[in-house]
């Protein structure tokens, strides 16, 4: 017997982790552009492929995205960790984040917003709906195209080895590398192959 409680009961809060920490690029490739780090993001539909991002209306990027109805989601890596943190702390009203973090804007195929060339994957997105939830407004968006760094494309199998890019995630106030693989989707029901001898 112990006096330790079975469970701690807390007041409501955001404790869904680990989540992605992505760089959202927005604005216009030929004009004003910006970057903002977002952890309140995710995939919301497979077909059509859609994702969501949540932003505070005070953010500089909020107005750019609300106006242009376009943004790109740029996946991040351990090599980009300083830029990921910095772009979440600083404001595009005061600094040129691409320039300061030496990130390279790249022309997208379907949207005017730039992509981040240093990212292993870029999702070109068009906003379909905005829900004003509270401190954050939710942008639902359709993914119009995906660009990828050929360095992680395995020619033999056609598999894109995203794990080799050292992606990062965000967990309760800290950025983390992604760690070791635990299994492939479906591994719990997969029959072990046996070599049969004739």
**Least distance to a copy of itself, CB of residue 63, Å:** 19
Using an 8 Å Cβ cutoff, are 166 and 78 in contact? yes
Q: Which residues pair with 47 in a beta bridge?
A: none
Q: At closest approach, how far in Å is the CB of 191 from a copy of itself?
A: 13
- The residues pairing with 153 across neighbouring beta strands, listed in sequence order, are 160
| Stretch of 27-35, 57-65, 91-99, 168-176 lying at the interface with a copy of itself (CB under 8 A) | 168-176
Contact 22, 36 (CB under 8 A): no
**Residue 152 · residue 166 · CB < 8 Å:** no
Q: Judged by CB, which is closer to a copy of itself: 31, or 134?
A: 134
Q: Which of 18/63 has CB closer to a copy of itself?
A: 18
CB 25, CB 113: distance < 8 Å: yes
Binding mask 16-55 for a copy of itself (x = CB under 8 A): xxxxx-x----------------xxxxxxxxxxxxxx-x-
Choice between 2 and 196, CB closer to a copy of itself: 2
Q: Applying CB under 8 A, does 57 fall inside the site for a copy of itself?
A: no
- Site residues for a copy of itself, 78-97, by CB under 8 A, read 78, 81-83, 85-86, 88-90
The reply on whether position 164 binds a copy of itself by CB under 8 A is no
Segment 133 to 152, residues that bind a copy of itself, using CB under 8 A = 133-136, 138, 140, 142-150
Q: By CB under 8 A, which span of 25-33, 62-70, 91-99, 176-184 interacts with a copy of itself?
A: 176-184
Residue in 51, 45, 50, 54 with CA at minimum distance from that of residue 14: 54
Least gap, CB of 58 to a copy of itself (angstroms): 12
Q: How many residues bind a copy of itself (CB under 8 A)?
A: 93
Cα 25 versus chain centre, distance: 11
Torsion angle, CA of 145/150/152/158, rounded to 10 degrees? Answer: 80
Strand 115-116 with 105-106, pairing:
antiparallel
Give the HSE-up count for residue 126: Cα atoms under 13 Å, Cβ half-sphere.
9
Binds a copy of itself by CB under 8 A, chosen from 31, 102, 157, 189: 189
């Amino acid at each position: 017997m112990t006096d330790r409680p079975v469970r701690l009961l807390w007041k409501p809060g955001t404790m869904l982790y680990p989540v992605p920490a992505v760089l959202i690029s927005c604005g216009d490739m030929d004009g004003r552009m910006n970057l903002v780090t977002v952890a309140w993001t995710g995939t919301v539909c497979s077909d059509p492929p859609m994702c969501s991002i949540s932003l505070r209306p005070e953010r500089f990027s909020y107005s750019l995205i609300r106006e242009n109805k376009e943004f790109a989601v740029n996946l991040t890596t351990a090599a980009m960790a300083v830029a990921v943190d910095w772009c979440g702390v600083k404001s595009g009203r005061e600094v040129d984040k691409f320039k300061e973090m030496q990130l390279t804007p790249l022309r997208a195929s379907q949207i005017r917003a730039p992509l981040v060339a240093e990212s292993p994957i870029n999702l070109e997105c068009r906003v379909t709906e905005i829900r004003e939830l509270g401190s954050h407004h939710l942008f639902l968006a359709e993914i119009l195209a995906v660009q990828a760094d050929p360095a992680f494309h395995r020619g033999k199998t056609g598999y894109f080895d995203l794990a080799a890019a050292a992606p990062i995630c965000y967990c309760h106030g800290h950025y983390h590398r992604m760690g070791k693989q635990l299994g492939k989707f479906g591994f719990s029901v997969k029959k072990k192959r046996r070599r049969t001898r004739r």
